Amino acid sequence: MPKNKKILVMDDEAHIRRVIELKLKSRGYEIITAVNGEEGLELIRSQEPDAVVSDIMMPKMDGKTVCEMANEIKKTRPYLTVIMTARISPEERDWISKMTDTVFMEKPFSPAKLLEIIDNYFGIDRDGH
């Protein structure tokens, strides 16, 4: 089981946050949540999560802006970012490949696939070891 791995889940939709939170908690991850990008960026700075799952379309500050601002933090404290959104063209996705340790998932997403991406980043197998 992943010990002491903290994951920030940023999404303005409560049901999406809850689905992700339940799936990741079932694996043993500690979860913190944010309802917008501004709150999320503050939590990245203050809570130092080991991974961030972020929607792009959020109030106050979108996921792209959060990633761009937090990319500087990753130079001294690397962590995984999973960007999720429903509607994005390949051209609009180009910026994601320029971000450190950042992957893209399309909504609707598979909670199992999300867990697999996070586990792989931490070197954890399917059994949680």
Provide the 3-class DSSP secondary structure of residue 101: coil
The Cβ of residue 67 has, within 10 Å, a number of other Cβ atoms equal to: 24
pLDDT tens, position by position, 24-57: 999 999 999 999 999 999 999 999 999 999 999 9
User: Please, are residues 69 and 99 in contact by the beta-carbon 8 Å criterion?
Assistant: no
pLDDT tens, position by position, 53-100: 999 999 999 999 999 999 889 999 999 999 998 877 777 788 888 888
pLDDT of residue 2: 63
Q: How confident is the model at residue 1 (pLDDT cuts 50, 70, 90)?
A: low
User: Please, are residues 44 and 52 in contact by the beta-carbon 8 Å criterion?
Assistant: yes
pLDDT of residue 13: 93
Q: Which domains does the chain have, with CATH numbers?
A: 6-121 (3.40.50.2300)
